[in-house]
Structure 1
Amino acid sequence: MPYLSVIVAHEHHWVKYNYGDWITLQPESGGSINSVRNGMLLWRDLHIHFDDYMVSISPDDNYKIVCFMYDANNIAGTHLDKTFVEDPSHP
């Protein structure tokens, strides 16, 4: 799980900026950074673009998807499904 190691490597930012305060479903171990609420399941190519900061999700704009590249999948401007945003048991 190379992506998980990247997240844990930046855990000091998580703590410094109190991102754990946003987590409503605490994990059984490992601190709030390991909460299911701090995860996303992405297509492989979209995951790469997300890691490269070419795709983002704006929580301040109703979880709108923002693309900083050519959008072959036509996802720019769409929003995450509210079912997943409002249910604390989903990533």
Structure 2
Amino acid sequence: MALLITDECINCDVCEPECPNGAISEGDEIYVINPNACTECVGHYDTPQCIDVCPVDCIITNPSFIETKDDLYLKYQQLIKQTA
């Protein structure tokens, strides 16, 4: 599943540089996660790095993008091919 940053985000800037896929960017009011690029760090780390560093716990599973770990790994492989 892709992740989602809620409106509890305080724009602290710690999540964006931690994302190995570049899925996090500054939105109009809060940071946002591109669900097409979010693999929950599958392929890179054991846990989502943005969740690990978020000081206010405002990153949740995006209910609009339900994916298995296998789906996330396939997405990771596709992203790697695009950057190669």
Compute the TM-score of the two structures, normalised by the length of structure 2: 0.31
Q: Which has the larger radius of gyration?
A: 1
Give the TM-score taking structure 1 as reference length: 0.30
Answer 1 or 2: which has greater strand percent: 2
